[in-house]
Amino acid sequence: MCGLKQEHASQRSSSLEAKENVTKKHSSDSVINLDQENNWNWPGLNLQWRSNNVRRVLAKDGRQKCTITISGYQSLSYFSDVKNFCWFLEPEFAEEIKRLHKLVGNAVTDDRYLIVGTGSTQLFQAALYAHSSPDAHKPINVVSAVPYYSCYPTVADYLKSGLYKWAGDASTYDKDEPYIEVVTSPNNPDGRLREPVVNRSDGFVVHDLAYYWPQYTAITSPADHDLMLFTVSKSTGHAGSRIGWAIVKDKNVAEKMRKYIEISTIGVSKESQLRAAKILRAVSDSCQDLSDESFFNYGRRRMTERWERLTSVIKLNGLFSLPEYSTEICNFSGVPTKTHPAFAWLQSKGMIEDSENFLKGHKILTRSGKHCGVSTKYVRVSMLDREGTFDLLLERLSNL
């Protein structure tokens, strides 16, 4: 990814730092890292508030509700279910995915192919592979409208595949050639709800719905696209489990995606799938228990609080602007819900040409718009960090 180099360099110290960060408080002059791309494999470090959210769900019925024990003699085989189309998908996990989507109402899963991947990142690559052809005389173009998720260009081009290649902004795509458009909704980095923009018959669309969950946005209908990607990284915050899933309509596409995963990793960790199944079950249970607030309503409430606080600070300091988000009735919660993205997408209003650099000077690390195909006036700031870090962010933005 985006950030792989830093990640390797810091691997040795990451577990130690992750441990420390659970309890460590920031001093007034410490640098706060709100550039999630660098830390996306370090979920314990940055996503603690989401873990707290999970812990709260677990606390009710005791910790065992999300605890799994796997003995040394269990889950040895490559195979999870030889009768299933996706033979490396744990049946328990498949059931929990379907149950959760039904309860939340955010995706159709009936009569669809379900494929598990090592994160939705692996499934994204599988989707590119599935839509490309070894017989084509040129690699197929991969596009996404700006501002796009900064990892797409890197993932598409990292191995210099002869099958597909990054071709930039979908909004200006005018080549008379086949293409794959990635539609991220809500979008990373700007949180907007999106639809395909190229809309031509020689194209394929991959819908990355990592953030189509009630804590981030209103669920207005069950998504029913040809190829949809989801991940536990964003739905429950378990980025370190490296589990994502694809919901696919077409059998040939699903078979090619499965083939990609067979070739690249001969399946997906059973331990991670079993843990993810247990966590999704606890989350679904929380949605059905009417005596208490569900996991998602709790998350939405926390996101709303954070966004209200951030918005008033941004208004007061006057240096940056934020996108406007609409409010829709959420079919899951039944209440009017504004989109509260996982990232704040700040644009400098005046003289600041390089917002990333400017904020770095104030000890706030962010991700520059240049990685998302737009100007350096923009930066992406994580809204999912620990409470103390978020407080410090607001304090520093207030004092700019």
Give min distance, CB of 244 to ligand PLP, in A. Answer: 4
Please state the separation of Cα 79 from the chain's center in Å. Answer: 27
Strand partners, 245: 116, 230
Instruction: Please tell me what DSSP assigns to residue 244.
Output: E
45, 50, 51, 53: CA torsion to nearest 10: 160
Are 164 and 125 in contact by the 8 Å Cβ rule? The answer is: no
Give min distance, CB of 346 to ligand PLP, in A. Answer: 17
Q: Calculate ∠ Cα 330-228-198, nearest 5°.
A: 95
Structure tokens at 40: 């996306």
Which residue, 359 or 372, is less far from ligand PLP as judged by CB? Answer: 372
Which residue, 247 or 313, is less far from ligand PLP as judged by CB? Answer: 247
The mark string for 101-130 relative to ligand PLP (x by CB under 6 A, - otherwise) is ------------------xxx---------
Are 169 and 143 in contact by the 8 Å Cβ rule? The answer is: yes
Instruction: Give residue 76's identity as a one-letter amino acid code.
Output: L
The residue from 239, 257, 279, 319 that contacts ligand PLP (CB under 6 A) is 239
Q: Is 233 in the site for ligand PLP (CB under 6 A)?
A: yes
In sequence order, the 6+-apart residues with CB closer than 8 A to the CB of 105 are: 219, 221, 222, 331, 332
Instruction: Give residue 4's identity as a one-letter amino acid code.
Output: L
The mark string for 135-174 relative to ligand PLP (x by CB under 6 A, - otherwise) is --------------x-------------------------
Number of shown-chain residues binding ligand PLP (CB under 6 A): 13
How many C-beta atoms surround the C-beta of residue 206 within 10 A? 25
Q: Is 21 in the site for ligand PLP (CB under 6 A)?
A: no
Which residue, 117 or 203, is less far from ligand PLP as judged by CB? Answer: 117
CA distance 179 to 358: 37
Which residue, 10 or 65, is less far from ligand PLP as judged by CB? Answer: 10
Are 307 and 284 in contact by the 8 Å Cβ rule? The answer is: no
The residue from 32, 126, 142, 210 that contacts ligand PLP (CB under 6 A) is 210
Which residue, 40 or 204, is less far from ligand PLP as judged by CB? Answer: 40
Tell me which residues in 188-207 interact with ligand PLP (CB under 6 A).
188
Which residue, 143 or 210, is less far from ligand PLP as judged by CB? Answer: 210
The residue from 132, 215, 217, 231 that contacts ligand PLP (CB under 6 A) is 231
SS3 state of residue 32? strand
Q: Is 40 in the site for ligand PLP (CB under 6 A)?
A: yes
The residue from 39, 80, 141, 184 that contacts ligand PLP (CB under 6 A) is 184
Element containing residue 102 per DSSP (H, E) = helix 91-104
Binding residues for ligand PLP (CB under 6 A): 40, 119-121, 149, 184, 188, 208, 210, 231, 233, 239, 244
